[in-house]
Amino acid sequence: MGSLSWILGSGLAMAAIALVGSATIWIPDEKLDRLLLPLVGFAAGSLFGGAMFHMVPAGLGAGVDVRATVTWLAAGFTLFFALEQLLHRHHCLRAAAPCRQPMTYLILLGDGLHNFMGGLAVGGAFLIDVRTGLMTWLIAVAHEIPQELGDFAVLVHGGWKRSTALLYNFASALTFPAGGIIAWTASLHADVAFLLPFAAGNFLYIAASDLIPEANRTHDPRRGLSSLAAFVAGLALLYGLASIGG
**Every domain of the chain and the residues it spans:** 3-18+38-245
Torsion sign, CA atoms 20, 171, 141, 149:
negative
Full pLDDT tens readout for the chain, 246 residues: 678 899 899 999 988 888 877 776 677 767 766 777 787 888 888 889 888 987 788 778 777 899 999 999 999 899 888 877 776 654 544 444 455 566 677 778 877 887 887 787 788 778 767 877 787 787 677 667 766 777 777 787 777 887 888 888 888 889 999 988 988 887 656 666 777 788 788 889 888 987 888 788 777 888 889 989 999 998 998 888 778 766
What number of other Cβ atoms are within 10 A of residue 21's Cβ?
A: 21
Torsion sign, CA atoms 145, 88, 38, 98:
negative
Pairwise CA distance, residues 157 & 159, whole Å? 6
pLDDT of residue 71: 96
Residue of 31, 33, 35 lying closest to 43 (CA atoms) = 35
pLDDT of residue 8: 92
Name the CA dihedral angle for 112, 116, 122, 124, rounded to a multiple of 10 degrees: 180
Alpha-carbon distances, residue 46 vs 2, 91, 93, 166 (angstroms): 33, 27, 31, 19
Q: How far is CA 78 from the centre of its chain?
A: 18
Q: To 10 degrees, what angle do helices 66-90 and 102-128 make?
A: 140
Q: Please tell me whether residue 91 adopts helix, strand or coil conformation.
A: coil
Pairwise CA distance, residues 171 & 98, whole Å? 22
pLDDT of residue 95: 40
**Side chain identity at residue 66, one-letter code:** V
What number of other Cβ atoms are within 10 A of residue 130's Cβ?
A: 14
pLDDT of residue 102: 67
**Side chain identity at residue 144, one-letter code:** E
DSSP 50: I
Residues contacting 149, CB < 8 A, separation 6+: 20, 21, 23, 39, 42
pLDDT of residue 77: 93
Residues contacting 187, CB < 8 A, separation 6+: 127
pLDDT of residue 96: 40
Q: Please, what's the b/e burial string for 101-118 (b: 16 or more CB within 10 A of its CB; e: otherwise)?
A: bbbbbbbbbbbbbbbbbb
Answer yes or no: are the C-beta atoms of 72 and 64 closer than 8 Å.
yes
Pairwise CA distance, residues 36 & 41, whole Å? 9
pLDDT of residue 97: 42
**pTM of the entire predicted model:** 0.69
Pairwise CA distance, residues 213 & 139, whole Å? 29
